[in-house]
Amino acid sequence: MILVIGGSYQGKTEYALSTFEEARFFNQAHLFIKKRLSEGHTQAAIYDEIKATTSEGQWVIIADEIGNGVVPIDEADRAYREVAGRILIELAKDADEVYRVILGIGQRIK
């Protein structure tokens, strides 16, 4: 599995689509995490679901980095930020390669 992360509107999807032509894509993983959290799922369950979904074949998981801001006032926003961060750390450990995309430029960081 390959993980592509970066801030919003950095060209992550375009970079991933043009770089990994043969792969299957799990895009906007951060929004998937947010939705599942709002439905009451735990961090572990959400992680397991992403892993199960991407277990067959070569997958590229794409997600926004969302932790680089001021601590949100809203408790659910804080939980989302925390859980998304923790899940992405686990996915990065599992990944064969990790890329960070800034200004459309991808840097391999693992």
Q: Among 12-20, 23-31, 45-53, 80-88, which window interacts with other proteins (CB under 8 A)?
A: 80-88
User: In the window 13-52, what residues touch other proteins (CB under 8 A)?
Assistant: none
Least distance between other proteins and beta carbon 56 (Å): 23
Tokens of 21: 């032509």
Task: Tell me the pairing of strands 105-108 and 97-102.
Answer: antiparallel
Distances (CA, A) of 41 to 12, 32, 65, 85, 92: 27, 11, 21, 16, 21
Give the footprint of other proteins on this chain (CB under 8 A): 3, 5, 7, 65-71, 75, 78, 81-86, 88-89, 91-93, 98, 100, 109-110
